[in-house]
Structure 1
């Protein structure tokens, strides 16, 4: 008789590991069945599973995330800390799934299942403009509630990070951003566009928003449409791998930079109204903690700088980060599947034009935006000439 060895698949391995972790936590056997692959990056497994036996929990389905054996554990520890922090928030302010269990040794995380709901990407593509507007406003409100609920909580988050054996990776986004900002003049010059000193100053100020800023709050980090689900509980953010504290305007600018490409053939006026809806909804919720948000012009100016940074960062990654080695944290940042990153030249060009349009609309009431709008328009045109002609 020939014996055939049975090789356990990565999903089966993640399921059995999660069963062991949950059983140890519950003090009784827990059985998980019917794994559904939700897709993961690299060797990471993300799957929805059905709870077929668990006497101490009402959860019928859960989501398990298991890190690959060869993957850097730093991201795992940081993600655990982010979920721990967010899970401790009041339920009405909790931005995403609840952490049910985790095991640093086995490198597995078990989360509550947000269900199917509707993806923000699908809602943005809806032909019903009112439906799109409601979704975008809900997105802004959810950001504002999360930010308002976490003001002053950075010390608690840092303690969780230290306890989880992760480093507080504040400096990696700043280092990478400084590096790409320094490359803008040379890239622009190669395209025949001069960079005004005011634009470089904006980018320099925006880099500091990762580590400083007047509106520091918790963020899951990747708050683009691909990581947003709307279910019966409202807007829910997914993917906390780079979660942490930073200036809240970075989240708003991230949304403004990433959602227009999912709108399809919308009129420019509709796009402008949707951008305004997101910002106004966020301000309405967050202003309870930050009265300074009442200054609409100052907020618009700050968000414009943050948006410029995001779009330039995505552009320079598209064309190449430049010379010199990256450190481990910078490599991890670039390896993450960020919503802001794109390999589509048309998307990159449209993002620059969108900043130009927004800056030009606000130029009459906000000093300094006219020069930004002119530069972004020229840069968008230069990209089209060099990449698309």
Structure 2
């Protein structure tokens, strides 16, 4: 703690003290601190060099929707940024009891990420240079593991699966937009000044469809996952899409949009299967260790697989090997005794959808 405060004070040029631990993660340590002139800042120290580089390079591209980057110490490494204050997160309102607050929060979420994409359009090379300058290496992230990693749960990979996954990985770079990376509900604060975004450790450019799929799935990689009312889901998706067509006008084409969304839902579903299935096969556990309510890992996986099959049913015999793999996973987990995924608590009065 003393080393973090000393390094932050030195790089900021004024002393920071009275730290309050904001939690962070296994990858970082986050502190709210007070400066000698009475201001408040947030200091984030990293254990992961890649996360540091992505966040330090990404914050200046936030379009004003994230904290302001005040100082960077690549040698520690740490950053000092403005304090967004205390406010409820989108997760808080989705797990709350106000459908209207949840709806407004979701629309603000979609609008904000669309506007971040617009603000950072054309700046990908700038981001890549900045990130490489902080880390000394380029960005590297794999959506999928090796086919062999799932041998225990997929004993015989369907013919053509590897080729389809390669094609999905390639599609994840088309129609690129800037994203903070982890756009899950708990990283979005509903402040008096509007929605503000936390956590740029996974920042970078990827397909607009991967971003938009967070609405349709919903929230592809997150713990705060329940079902959305179908009408609201379409409304939120449309808000995001209307923003990003300013970056990629081709996305106004409905057929192109739907095909891209199917691929994005498939991409995230397979990615999270790689993440969750090995441990969910051994035993079921909640998606979050302290927050409630949350789905269990088995409950979420079966929902994801069923939702992906519904998406593929709208296509024209797309991704047959992915379809076969998903059907196999549903069959091999048929004995899992899990309830159907309900609506978010804020929308429980809307009934089944």
TM-score in same-fold range (> 0.5): yes
Cα distance in 2 between the residues matched to 1:43 and 1:141: 29
Cα distance in 1 between the residues matched to 2:100 and 2:309: 25
CA contact (8 A) 1:147 1:217 kept: yes
Q: CA deviation at 1:15?
A: 2.3
Cα distance in 1 between the residues matched to 2:235 and 2:214: 15
Q: CA deviation at 1:20?
A: 2.1
1:73 alignment partner, one of 32, 49, 58: 49
Aligned residues, how many? 321
Relative to structure 1, the CA distance from residue 72 to residue 183 in structure 2 (aligned partners, 3 Å threshold; closer, same or farther) is closer
Alignment partner, residue 339 of structure 1 = none
Alignment partner, residue 288 of structure 1 = 246
Cα distance in 2 between the residues matched to 1:200 and 1:281: 34
CA contact (8 A) 2:153 2:329 kept: no
1:96 alignment partner, one of 66, 87, 102: 66
Are 2:305 and 1:346 equivalent residues in the alignment? no
Give 1:214-293 correspondences, 5 Å limit: 215-259=175-219, 262=224, 270-293=228-251
Instruction: Provide Cα deviations, 1:3-31, integer angstroms capped at 9, x if missing partner.
Output: xxxxxxx3x432232122212xxxxxx23
Listed as ranges, the gaps of 5+ residues in structure 1 are 1-9, 24-29, 55-59, 88-92, 322-341
Relative to structure 1, the CA distance from residue 377 to residue 133 in structure 2 (aligned partners, 3 Å threshold; closer, same or farther) is farther
Q: What SS class does the counterpart of residue 114 from structure 1 fall into?
A: coil
CA contact (8 A) 2:28 2:48 kept: no
Relative to structure 1, the CA distance from residue 94 to residue 296 in structure 2 (aligned partners, 3 Å threshold; closer, same or farther) is farther
Q: What SS class does the counterpart of residue 245 from structure 1 fall into?
A: strand
Alignment partner, residue 205 of structure 1 = 167
Listed as ranges, the gaps of 5+ residues in structure 2 are 280-294, 339-353
Q: CA RMSD in A?
A: 3.2
Relative to structure 1, the CA distance from residue 189 to residue 182 in structure 2 (aligned partners, 3 Å threshold; closer, same or farther) is closer
Q: CA deviation at 1:281?
A: 0.8
Q: What SS class does the counterpart of residue 163 from structure 1 fall into?
A: helix
Q: What SS class does the counterpart of residue 47 from structure 1 fall into?
A: strand
Q: CA deviation at 1:37?
A: 0.7
Alignment partner, residue 332 of structure 1 = none
Alignment partner, residue 86 of structure 1 = 61
Cα distance in 1 between the residues matched to 2:230 and 2:162: 25
Alignment partner, residue 126 of structure 1 = 96
Instruction: Provide Cα deviations, 1:64-96, integer angstroms capped at 9, x if missing partner.
Output: 0113xxx3534323331222x426xxxxx3331
Alignment partner, residue 307 of structure 1 = 265
Q: CA deviation at 1:182?
A: 6.7
Relative to structure 1, the CA distance from residue 94 to residue 184 in structure 2 (aligned partners, 3 Å threshold; closer, same or farther) is farther
1:35 alignment partner, one of 6, 12, 19: 19
Q: CA deviation at 1:305?
A: 1.2
Q: CA deviation at 1:165?
A: 3.7
Q: What SS class does the counterpart of residue 80 from structure 1 fall into?
A: helix
Alignment partner, residue 143 of structure 1 = 113
Q: CA deviation at 1:36?
A: 1.3
Instruction: Provide Cα deviations, 1:188-228, integer angstroms capped at 9, x if missing partner.
Output: 457xxx8585x766543321134x31x11211111122222
Relative to structure 1, the CA distance from residue 256 to residue 166 in structure 2 (aligned partners, 3 Å threshold; closer, same or farther) is farther
Instruction: Provide Cα deviations, 1:94-121, integer angstroms capped at 9, x if missing partner.
Output: 3311101111123121011111222111
Q: What SS class does the counterpart of residue 25 from structure 2 fall into?
A: coil
